[in-house]
Amino acid sequence: MVPSLFMFRASSATRQTHLRPGKTFLRSFHNTSTIRYIVKPANEGLAADLTRDKPEEAVLPTVTEPPSINQAIEKAVDDILKASKTRVTKAKTKILRAAEDGVPTKKPRKKAIPSAVTRPDLASTPPILESRIKPRKQGARGPVKPKKDTNPVTAEPEKLSKSTSTGRKKFIGYTRPEEPRKEITEFLRWGYGGNWPGAKPQGDRRRMNIVSEDACDAVLARLKPSLERHMGCDILDINPGAGVWSEKLHGFLKPRTHILLEPDTKMYGPLLDPLVMAPNSTYKLVPKSGLVWGHLEGVLSQEYLPLQTAWNRDDPRVEERNDTLLVTANLGYNPKKSYKGFTSLAQMVIYQFMGAVKAHSLFQKYGLVRMLIWINDEEKHNILPRTINDRRKASVEADFACEKVEEVASSTVHMGQGLREPELDLQSGRKVLQRMTDNGIQIPEGRESILVQQLNGVDVPNTRIQRFQAAPLKEETTTIHDPERERVLQNRLKSRLTGEALAATVCDTYEDILKAAKVVHGLPDSEEQKANNAEFWEHLKDWDDNVSTLSRTNRLHVQSGCDNRLAIRRDQPLLLWDRREVEPIRLDDDEFFPSKAMCLFDIQPKTLIPVLRDKYPDNCDILEFLLGSFFTLPSQSVKNGLIGLWPGAYEWIDVECPSLKDIHKGGHPDLDHLTVRMLSNEMMVEIVEAWLRWPFKPNRYQMLSRMGSATHDAAGIIEIDD
């Protein structure tokens, strides 16, 4: 019982004093004269306890009459517990062990000691640890530096410092120019801050600005024939930013009022103030966001636009073109800025501008107002698709609302989900160059688009999917030669090229079938026509059987290739891109800040078709419902789209819309072979008119519910209850 009690108390004492394994304080249970224990020297402070070289060992004096073993055990344990009251931290224990083993350690950091606390006397410190705990010399960190001026205006210029470890120059910061308007790029570089620690940008670093006057001059020269009708107009400028484009446009048009809607005046105020404060200036700087409709509606008033007249929706003058007002906006963000359900703020704003054309709201209440909008070059294919793969609901609605959506200037590099055959792009480019020649339009030297350079025989970088060439990489890959990987890559490339060639051949066959069908389509009934129709369906069935044997990837290539060919070879090309009058001029990355190309769109609204003007907004909601249902999956067939639209819709529209099966208008006798992305405006109007005649069509409330709208429609609810 006694040894067990002793072992329990001894183990507790060991944990409290942080003794190392193997450091025994008891040698024998039966020889009390050799019991060793740690004795703390009297009248010694904390420093002496830390700097001790080795704990002293004391031997109990031998008495004449040996005490009993229980007394010896109790005495040893009590002394151990007394010694454990001085707590030794982990760091202090490490110093003691290092000193005992003779291993050099880092000099411990001196802790701050209040002046009211008396320092321990370090004279008794053993010499072996004196260098370990010697306090730092006064002034080791040098003289106290003056507090740094953090005012961005009065702060002294930053410099480049050299790193002593790597020898490379480490960037510290930028200098604020004394005259920001004369050094716009340097000012923006300073205002955007940097990526070094402690950088404080003055504004939104994702905003993009055009900083090249030459680029602005080239754009204005391209737009000059159509811009001259806006001389002396009012300009509504949303997010002018650096103001380079605003100043150039102002100098060309000489407007009577130029409203600058710039919310970030802290960043761009020094650049815009010289324009506003100039003598006889017609600029008006409004520190509000033009992308917040509440702020924009506040500016669209008699206070800021006294010479503009807002028309009622029933007034026919609201459908007329208004050349006395021009809207320009900078919606460029890099990376693109998302907002709620939209992946891009720019796309959302342009989508709402298109809706304002139909509703005659915002600045479209003054008539049909032209818009010049800058966006990130990477987003241009969402507004103006160049291939049928990128044709979506927004681009179809833009075709209904606008007479022209033109890409004026950009990097001219194609970006999007898919690429069509190069021959189709060259065919489209030749037609555009012919129109430019007929109208006497020339491209400024050095601003030719990549497509024009290809037509002129200039060797330009391949903008399609880049394929590695083996020859230039032989020297670089000699040490990492991997035959197995090379074999896989070669097979992949061979499979891709074979698939593209196979898809092109299948598309050629499909075009031949449709050309033969156009010859007999619409002819009066006769035995010859019946024979030709039977032959057409037989060839189409054989073609379907051949396509069904292809892989899924090749089938998608075939479908995309056929749609792209048929879209460009209609009497009126399906894509707005293929209807362009001029080629866009090329802009370089270094003409913007940050160094990333932007795209300028020229958007000119038009009068809505009669069926959409009548009973607004009911008929527009029908079009919205149809497009939203169809373009959930743009590559689906029209038949599947109508079946999923509403029960009975396919059977009704199949009979009421003959243009869907008219080959001469882009239709197809079999709606399984016509995709919804191939529907033209004429077809969509015919579908809307047939929908209005359908006796079993859903009411407006049911359509809005299907679209996910939370709009309350009392009339619809009453109709359901009845």
Q: 93 and 68 in one domain?
A: yes
Number of structural domains in the chain: 5
* Domain co-membership, 394 together with 512: no
Q: What's the pLDDT score for residue 258?
A: 97
Q: How many other C-beta atoms can be found within 10 angstroms of the C-beta atom of residue 665? A: 16
Q: Is residue 366 part of a domain?
A: yes
Domain annotation covers residue 418: no
- Up-side HSE of residue 172: CA atoms within 13 Å toward CB? 10
Cis peptide leading into residue 617 (ω within 30°): yes
The answer to whether residue 18 scores a pLDDT higher than 60 is: no
The 3-state DSSP class for residue 608 equals: coil
Strand, coil or helix: what is 427? Answer: helix
Average pLDDT over residues 33-59: 44
Do both 635 and 556 map to the same domain? no
State whether 574 and 662 are in the same domain.
no
Q: Which of 98-112, 311-325, 454-468, 499-513 has the highest mean pLDDT?
A: 311-325
Compute and round to an integer the Cα radius of gyration of the chain: 41
Terminal Cα distance for the chain, rounded: 94
Arithmetic mean of pLDDT, 250-275 = 94
Whether residue 599 sits in one domain with residue 565: no
Residue bearing the bigger pLDDT, 3 or 379: 379
Same domain (yes/no): 272, 369? yes
If asked whether residues 515 and 538 sit together in one domain, one would say yes
Residue type at 274? P
189 and 289 within one domain: no
The closest of 458, 469, 350 to 412, measured between CA atoms, is: 458
Alpha-carbon distance 688 to 691, whole Å?
5
Same domain, 342 and 392: yes
Alpha-helical regions (H) of 585-713: 610-613, 618-630, 638-645, 649-656, 681-693, 700-707
Residue 16 pLDDT grade (very low, low, confident, very high; cuts 50, 70, 90): very low
Q: Same structural domain for residues 240 and 355?
A: yes
According to the model, what pLDDT value does residue 107 have?
Answer: 56
272 touches 260 (CB < 8 A): yes
Summarised one tens digit per residue, pLDDT across range 567-625 is 999 989 999 999 999 999 999 999 999 999 999 999 999 998 899 888 888 889 899 99
239 confidence band (pLDDT: 50, 70, 90): very high
* CATH code of residue 351: 3.40.50.150
Q: Is residue 181 domain-shared with residue 263, that is, in the same domain?
A: no
Amino acid at 612: L
214 with 195, same domain: the answer is no
In a domain, 437, yes or no: no
pLDDT in tens, 448-479: 888 888 888 765 554 443 334 444 444 454 55
Strand partners for 76? none
Examine residue 51 and state whether it is found in any structural domain, yes or no. yes
Which carries the bigger pLDDT value, residue 488 or residue 66?
488
Q: pTM above 0.85? A: no
Report yes or no on 438 lying in a domain. no
- Tell me if 457 is assigned to some domain: no
The mean pLDDT of the chain is 77
- pLDDT band for 108, please (50, 70, 90 cuts): low
Question: Domain containing 188: what range?
Answer: 155-161+171-202
Please write the tens of the pLDDT for every residue from 618-673: 889 899 999 999 999 999 999 999 999 999 999 999 999 999 999 989 999 999 99
Asked, for residue 671, whether it belongs to a domain, the answer is: yes
Classify residue 55: in a domain, yes or no: yes
